[in-house]
Structure 1
Amino acid sequence: MPIISVIIPCYFNESNIPVTSRELIANEVNFPSDVTFEYVYVDDGSGDGTLAALLTVRNSHPHNVKVVELAGNVGSYNAIVAGIAQATGDCMAIITADMQDPPALMVQMYTYWQQGFKLIIGNRQDREETGLQQVFAKVFHMLMKKIALSNIPDGGFDFVFLDRQVAKHIITLQERNSNLFYLMVWLGYPYVNIPYVRRKREIGKSRWTLKKKAKLFIDSILAFSFFPIRAISVMGLVLGLAAFSYGLYIIGLRLFGSQEPEGWSALMVVLLFVSAFQMTALGIIGEYVWRGLDAARNRPLYVVKEVHDQTKVV
């Protein structure tokens, strides 16, 4: 009898939780009768009533709902890893608590899993959101596909269905400052891509700030691509050739007695440009060095404050 663990990271989702739990439980009727469900909600250090709402759901369904309470906010990806570590299912589904991704898609995902696929991806073919958020998402995933992982699906994804074997790899890697979903693709297992339209958020406000988006962009590039370092090398080579050529030009003027150009303005422009490039290069190298230091410290990705499961009814 297969067990499906549904992992739901939660952060300031107090209003979403009752709706989310109802939709997930209602979706069970679409599965074969021999399938058992386990719901692993992870409270990522929310500062509102999310934990209380989760415990209410837990008390209503004590036999198949587990609430993982983290000591502090560690980000959704680390919260997902915490949920994977606590899950006991043969396969797992990862879905957000805001219900922008359709739970009904899990039925098709489960069918592919039964056929032997270890990873099934729900790919956002389009989204109901408009404006800058949609533009940012399209540009982000287009760049990632070109300079990071060429085999990721277009449009991005954070709704996945994975086998326990893939989950074990994720736990073993314990990779930090990375993109968890790209890491699943990087493992190399053949995957199935199921396109869908991401719904507009109806309840609550997204905590996916510009700062977090920028960090994810940097993490994704540095974790899966050598493009920044290679760009520094190429730019350094180009500047070096330009400097060498200009040096030959100045020497030629001196040797042949021509009047040397005053060139103070041009010199300052070159100096400022090269200095800016050097600082940018140092910043990129510093990002790599910091990530190496962070990995060397080997601090845990998360700290579990308490697990509320069937052995403890709150």
Structure 2
Amino acid sequence: MPKLSVIVPCYFNEENIPVTARELVANEVNFPPEVTFEYVFVNDGSGDDTLGALRLAQAEYPGRIRIVDLAGNVGSYNAIVAGMAYATGDCLAVITADLQDPPELMARMYSHWQQGFKLVIGNRQEREETGFAQIMAKVFHWLMKNLALRNIPDGGFDFVFFDRQVATEVLNLHERNSNVFYLMVWLGFAYVNLPYIRRKRQVGKSRWTLSKKIKLFIDSLMAFSFVPIRAISVLGLGLGCIALLYGLYVIALKITHPDEPAGWTTLMVVLLMVSAFQMIALGVIGEYVWRGLDAARQRPLYVVREVLG
């Protein structure tokens, strides 16, 4: 009998847990009767009583829920990796604890997995969210598709269904400061894309802050693209050509007008432009160097306090 492990990263989701657990268990009726279920809730160092809510859910649905309680907050992607490590299913799914992604879509994902697809992606075609958050999300995924991974679906995704082999390959990579969902696509397995409308959050408050979104964008871009470092090379070459032309102009001006005073304004503009480029270049190179250092230290992605169930 195939076993499905549903991984749910949790961070300040005390109010969501009762609703999420109930909806996930109720969704089992959409699957064939031979499928068995395991729900791996990963508490990512929450500062509220998320762990207490998970314990209550575990008591309400005995034998179904496994709790992986991390010692500290390591980010949702590392929490998902921890969930993969402790999941025991033949196939796995990742869904957020706020239920903005529809659990009922997992039954369709499962049918594609049975057909032989190692990866099935729930793609956010539209969002019920509006305003700045929606604009930021569209810009982020457009940039990633055009600068890093061209084979990712439009609109972004963090609702996936995948084979045990995919989970094993991701765990073997030991990637740091990366995007676990993009890693699944990067592996190269053929995938099915199922579009859906992302719901507006109904319970609780999102902890997905602007600073975390910016870090995710930088991590994703640096992990899957050489565009930033290549852009430095191209810009440096362009500035070098401009400097050469300007140098020839200054020499010609000195020959034709030997008494012409040097241009202080021009000198300052060139100095500021070159200095700004150098600082930007050092910043981008520093990002790559820091990631290399972080990988060389080989610190664990997460530390598990205890596993319940």
TM-score (norm 1): 0.97
Number of the residue aligned with 2:270: 270
SS for the counterpart of 2:34 is coil
Report the AA paired with residue 297 of structure 1: R
Report matched runs for 1:171-210 at 5 Å. 171-210=171-210
Contact 1:250–1:260 under 8 Å retained in 2: no
Counterpart of 1:74?
74
What secondary structure sits across from 1:107 in the alignment? helix
Distance in structure 2 (CA, Å) of the matches to 1:259 and 1:238: 31
Unaligned runs of 5+ in 2: none
Give the match's secondary structure for 1:299.
Answer: coil
Measured against aligned partners, the alpha-carbon deviations of 1:137-179 in whole angstroms (never above 9, x if no partner) come to 0000001000000000000000000000000001111101011
CA distance in 2, matches of 1:263, 1:146: 42
Deviation at 1:263, TM superposition (A): 1.4
2:265 equivalent to 1:260: no
Residues 35-58 of structure 1: CA deviation (Å, up to 9, x unaligned): 000000000000001000001111
1:125 deviates by 0.0
> 1:261 Cα deviation (Å)?
5.0
Q: How does 1:18-97 map to 2 (within 5 A)?
A: 18-97=18-97
The answer for the alignment partner of 2:229 in structure 1 is: 229
After superposition, the C-alpha distances for 1:158-211 in whole angstroms (9 at most, x for unaligned) are 000000000000111110101111111000000000000000000000000000
Once the 2 structures are TM-superposed, how far is the Cα of residue 283 of structure 1 from its aligned partner? 0.4
SS in 2 for 1:124: strand
2:158 maps to which residue?
158
Number of aligned residues: 309
- Aligned to 2:307, the other structure's residue is in SS state strand
Give the aligned partner of residue 286 of structure 1. 286
Provide the rounded CA distance (Å) in 2 between the counterparts of 1:10 and 1:140. Answer: 23
Unaligned runs of 5+ in 1: 310-314
2:122 corresponds to 1:106: no
Which residue identity is paired with 1:13? N
Query: Does the aligned pair in 2 maintain the 1:100–1:200 contact within 8 Å?
Result: yes
> Once superposed, which parts of structure 1, at least 4 consecutive aligned residues long, lie more than 6 Å away?
none
Report the residue type matching 1:219 in the other structure.
D
Q: C-alpha separation between the residues in 1 aligned to 2:49 and 2:257?
A: 81
Using the TM superposition, give the Cα deviation of residue 255 of structure 1 relative to its aligned residue in structure 2, in angstroms: 2.4
Aligned to 1:149: 149
Residue number in structure 2 paired with 1:245 = 245
**Matched residue SS, 1:97:** coil
Contact 1:5 1:93 in 2 (8 A): yes
Aligned amino acid, residue 181 of structure 1? F
Return 109-118 or 260-269, whichever deviates more.
260-269
Aligned-residue identity in percent: 72
Q: TM-score, normalised by structure 2?
A: 0.99
2:70 partner letter: L
Amino acid at match of 1:145: K
Cα deviation, 1:218-252, whole Å, max 9, x if unaligned, reads 01110000000000000000111111111111111
Return the offset for 1:259: 4.3
Once the two structures are TM-superposed, the CA of residue 59 in structure 1 deviates from its matched residue by 1.6
Correspondence for 1:7: 7
Query: Match for 2:293: what amino acid?
Result: L
The answer on whether the counterparts of 1:17 and 1:50 sit within 8 Å (CA) in structure 2 is: yes
**Partners in 2 of 1:254 and 1:265 — Cα distance?**
17
Q: Which amino acid aligns with 2:295?
A: A
CA distance in 1, matches of 2:261, 2:64: 80
Q: What is the CA distance between 1:258 and its match in structure 2?
A: 4.8
